[in-house]
Amino acid sequence: MTRKKTGKPNSVTRSIARGAAARGDGVNGVHENGKDAYKRSRQSTKGNYRIAFTELFEKVTERDLSLKHTYAKDLLSNYLKVPVDMITLKVKRKPQQTLTSVDEVFYVKVGSDIYGKVSIRVQRVLRGNMLIFVFQEKKAALKPPTKSYSRKTGFKKKTSSQISQTKRKSYHSRQGGTN
């Protein structure tokens, strides 16, 4: 005689549902959520950026200005210790022009990972052209400083005799008298 299936779960089916079968066998990739999130965060442009280095070149020629992207890749490859051909610059925003300068901002990609942002500024002044490179590295968010552990003790008011004793003690210590 076989048991008729009812809609009610029994203890065996509940334990199976909570066990290894519920977590998956690796086929559906449920256990790789953290790995996937980390990979996605490396490829995302969102995050905190901190200045890694700045380089300033003065009295540059027009030829140097035309090669600014190549110079930026060279500086980045020296800093990141990565071959130049692996670095790509993805435009973050269009060049912004002011009265004396032109600003360009790029995301620095190595493969599919974003390593940071580089800002290239060309400044044209009377004493010559200046080329400024600022690289901001993508870092983890700054955490606020945590308080050191302290045991919470209940605050109990001093009695009137303790208050007068403290006053007397402080008065005598100021006067240089007895304790």
pLDDT at 171 (0 to 100): 85
Question: Distance (Å, rounded) from C-alpha 138 to C-alpha 154?
Answer: 45
pLDDT at 38 (0 to 100): 76
Digit-coded pLDDT (tens) for 139-179: 876 666 666 666 666 677 888 999 999 888 888 888 766 55
For the chain, domain boundaries: 43-138
> pTM for the complete prediction?
0.60
| Percent of the chain predicted with pLDDT > 90 | 42
| Percent of the chain predicted with pLDDT > 70 | 70
Bigger pLDDT: 107 vs 143: 107
Q: Is residue 122 a contact partner of residue 131, using CB atoms and an 8 Å limit?
A: yes
Question: Distance (Å, rounded) from C-alpha 63 to C-alpha 73?
Answer: 16
pLDDT at 140 (0 to 100): 73
Q: 43-138 belongs to which CATH class?
A: alpha beta
Question: Distance (Å, rounded) from C-alpha 93 to C-alpha 41?
Answer: 21
Token pair listed for 101: 């300068």
Question: Distance (Å, rounded) from C-alpha 26 to C-alpha 49?
Answer: 35
Strand partners of residue 48: 139
pLDDT at 30 (0 to 100): 47
pLDDT at 19 (0 to 100): 56
Residue 106 class from Cβ within 10 Å (0-12 exposed, 13-18 middle, 19+ buried)?
buried
How much is the average pLDDT of 119-142?
A: 89
